[in-house]
Amino acid sequence: MQEYEQLKSLVEAAAEDIAKAEGGNKAAGTRVRKSMQDIKAAAQAVRVKVLELRDSSQG
């Protein structure tokens, strides 16, 4: 599922900035918050796709 793969890649891409933010890097913290918004949207896309798959299999 393409949506899930995108979600995984967004999470992996945020890992480095998360480590930097934990070290006190404020700019990295800003990037992490932006990444989390993107991850939230990607997670919602996965939810929608799963519902579509479920509904199409019931038809």
Confidence of residue 59 (pLDDT cuts 50, 70, 90): low
Helices (H) and strands (E) counted in the chain, each on its own, are 2, 0
- pTM (two decimals): 0.85
**Amino acid residing at 39:** I
Q: Mean pLDDT across the stretch 27-44? A: 98
What local confidence, expressed as pLDDT, does residue 6 receive? 97
d(CA 44, CA 3): 9
Residue 33 has a pLDDT of 98
